Amino acid sequence: MKILIALTYYRPHTSGLTIYVERLAKALAARGHTVRILTSQYSSALSRRETVDGVEIIRVPVAFRISKGVIMPGFGIEATRQARWADVIHLHLPQFDAAGLALRGRIMNKPTVITYHCDLQMPPGFLAWVANQAILLMNNLAGLFTHRVVAYTRDYAESSPYLRRLLKKIKVISPPVELPSISEADKKAFKERWNPGKQSPVIGMAARFASEKGVEVLINAMPKILKLYPKALVLFAGPYQNIIGEESYFARLKPQIDRLAEAGNWRFLGNLTPEQMAAYYPMLDVLVLPSLNSTESFGLVQIEAMLNGIPCVASNLPGVRQPVLRHGLGKIIPIGSASALAQAVVEILQSDFPVISKDALQAEYAPDSVARQYETLFLELLHPQPQSDKS
C-alpha cells in the first residue's frame, strides 16, 4: 500500500504524538508499505524532503504561526498531489489542515482514517481563541468526511466531546511503544552521569515542559515528599526550554524549580534519545504523570516505565488512567492534587508491587503489532466485503 500520513508537527519535534507517528510509520515501512509523511517545515533548518528509516518526509514551508498553530499557504497544492498518489490517507488530529485532506479523500475515493490523539486546549488570548475555534471547525469537518477514527482507548473516546459524536466510526487501537535494547554498561554510565551521588528515591517525569502536563503539581508535592525523603531527586526528561507557547509557563515555575535544583532535588535531563530513555527508566523508583486536562489522552511513557517494572502515578483522567487500571502497576490520583501525588509517591516507595509480564506488554504495544492492526483496517476500507442480505 501507498500510505500518506499527515500531521502538523513531525520529528525531530518531540511530543507523544510525533513519537507515536514515527514508530507507526517505521513499522508500516518495515512491513513493506510505501509511507510518506506530509507535515510542516516548522523550522527553516529542516529539509523540505528527506527519507529517514525508510519513511519519506515532505515538509511544507510555514508562512507564520498563530500560537502553536502553523499557516502553510502551499499545503493545499501539496496535499492534492499527495492524495492522488496515496492508496490510503491517514490523518493525525488535532490538525487544522485535516479537513481539506479528508475531503480530498472522499472526492478521490481514497479511504481516510483519523487517529485522534487528544482534545485541543489553546493558551489564553484572543488570537489563540480564534485559532482554537478554527481548528475545532476543521477537526469536525474532518470527522464528517473520514471513514474511520482510531482512538487509544474507549474510555477516552466516550469522554471526549469530539469523539463522542463519532462513536460509530471508532476503532480502538493501543498506541505503539518500544524501547531499544542497551547494555548494562550503558545504563550504569547514564546513571553515573545524572545521579552521581546515588540519591534516593528517584522520581521521574518524562514530558515536554507544558502547562497541561501538570509540572506544578509535582513541584507542590515535593515539600511533603522531602519531609520523609530529604534526598529525593526529580529527574525531568524532555524538552523544557523555549517550548512553543509555553515560555511564560516555564518562567512562572522557574523560581520554585531553581530552589529545588539548588538543594539538589531537581535535575533537568533535556531531550533524550530512545537509547537514553532506555537507560533513564531503570534509574527510577516511580514515574509520575500529573496531567491536568484532556490534551493528554494516554501517556505513552507509562508503558515505557512499566516495561522496566517501574510503577506510575497518573491523574484520574480518561485514557491517562488506563495503563494503571489495565496493568495494575501504580496508583491513580485526583486531577491537580499535589497532596494526593505526594501521598501516592510515598505509598509506592513503601510498598511492593507485583511483577507484570514484559512479554504481555510488548505483545500489546509493540509497533509491529500496532502496525498490523492499522494494516488490517486499511485493507478492510480498500476492499470492503459486501454485506450479506438478511431475509
- How many Å apart are CA 194 and CA 268, to the nearest integer? 9
How many angstroms separate the Cα of 116 from the Cα of each of 50, 58, 153, 161, 190?
26, 21, 10, 12, 35
38: burial class by Cβ within 10 Å (0-12, 13-18, 19+)? buried
Higher pLDDT, 15 or 185: 185
Q: How do 112-116 and 202-206 pair as beta strands? A: unpaired
The DSSP 8-state label assigned to residue 121 in this structure reads -
How confident is the model over 305-325, as pLDDT tens digits?
A: 999 999 999 999 999 999 999
Q: How do 64-66 and 69-71 pair as beta strands? A: antiparallel
Residue 251 pLDDT more than 60? Answer: yes
Between 116-125, 270-279, 317-326, 363-372, the lowest mean confidence (pLDDT) is in: 116-125
Residue 326 pLDDT more than 90? Answer: yes
Q: How many CB atoms lie within 10 A of CB 383?
A: 8
Residue 387 pLDDT more than 80? Answer: no
Average pLDDT in the chain: 92
In the prediction, which pLDDT does 37 show? Answer: 98
Domains along the chain with CATH numbers = 2-176+366-382 (3.40.50.2000), 184-360 (3.40.50.2000)
The DSSP line for 195-230 is -TT--SSEEEEES-S-GGGTHHHHHHHHHHHHHH-T
Q: How many CB atoms lie within 10 A of CB 220?
A: 18
Residues 6 or more apart whose CB falls under 8 angstroms from that of 77 comprise none
- How many Å apart are CA 61 and CA 177, to the nearest integer? 30
Assign 348 a pLDDT band (cuts: 50, 70, 90). Answer: very high
Between 64-78, 113-127, 294-308, the lowest mean confidence (pLDDT) is in: 113-127
